[in-house]
Amino acid sequence: MKAVFVDSGPLVAIVNPGDQHQTEARQGWERLAESKLALVSTEHILDEVATAICRWQSPRRAADWLRLQLDSGLIRWISCGPEDWRIATDWLRQYSDQQINFTDALSFTLMRRMKITEAFTFDRHFLIAGFQKWEAEQKG
């Protein structure tokens, strides 16, 4: 089964009504729900979104969102370990002029390890690193 990596942007856009990408995110989630694509992300993305919800809304809202994500099984949340962290430092060095962050570098590491070529993202860094952006208007 083909997999798509889920970045934090589309997750944040769904829970933050003022997000500039909310319409695009909603369309993307609707298309993904209709598709037969496997969705994969990292625990670092989960943390990034939960931390943002704590800041914008409340820890209780973040806990509710986390429980929903963990119980739904919609996204397979992958843990990264020391070897992934080492490889991610190579991504940081390679793209040091692009201001990528460690979570991006870990995402790239996981995508390469799992042979995932597309990401549901609004972050141009995925394109710079050689991955494709999964678009809501693409066929699943």
Answer yes or no: is 92 within a domain: yes
Distance between CA atoms of residues 138 and 140, nearest Å: 6
Distance between CA atoms of residues 96 and 76, nearest Å: 29
| E strand residue ranges, 3-140 | 3-6, 38-42, 75-78, 118-120, 132-133
Answer yes or no: is 87 within a domain: yes
What is residue 16's predicted lDDT score, i.e. its pLDDT? Answer: 87
Domain containing 27 — which CATH number? 3.40.50.1010
For 35-74, the pLDDT digits (tens) are 889 999 999 999 999 999 999 899 999 999 999 999 999 9
Answer yes or no: is 138 within a domain: no
Q: What is the number of domains present in the chain?
A: 1
Answer yes or no: is 67 within a domain: yes
Answer yes or no: is 140 within a domain: no
Answer yes or no: is 139 within a domain: no
What is residue 51's predicted lDDT score, i.e. its pLDDT? Answer: 96
Report whether 34 contacts 140 (CB < 8 A): yes
φ and ψ of 5, to 5 deg? -80, 135
Tokens describing residue 119? 């990401």
pLDDT of 105 over the 70 cut: yes
Q: Which structural domain, as residue segments, surrounds residue 66? A: 3-133
Q: What is the average per-residue pLDDT within 92-104?
A: 93
For 1-28, the pLDDT digits (tens) are 799 999 999 999 998 878 899 999 999 9
Answer yes or no: is 105 within a domain: yes
Answer yes or no: is 24 within a domain: yes
Report whether 46 contacts 115 (CB < 8 A): no
pLDDT of 136 over the 70 cut: no
What is residue 140's predicted lDDT score, i.e. its pLDDT? Answer: 46
pLDDT of 112 over the 70 cut: yes
Least confidently predicted of 17-31, 43-57, 91-105, 110-124: 17-31
Whole-prediction pTM:
0.92
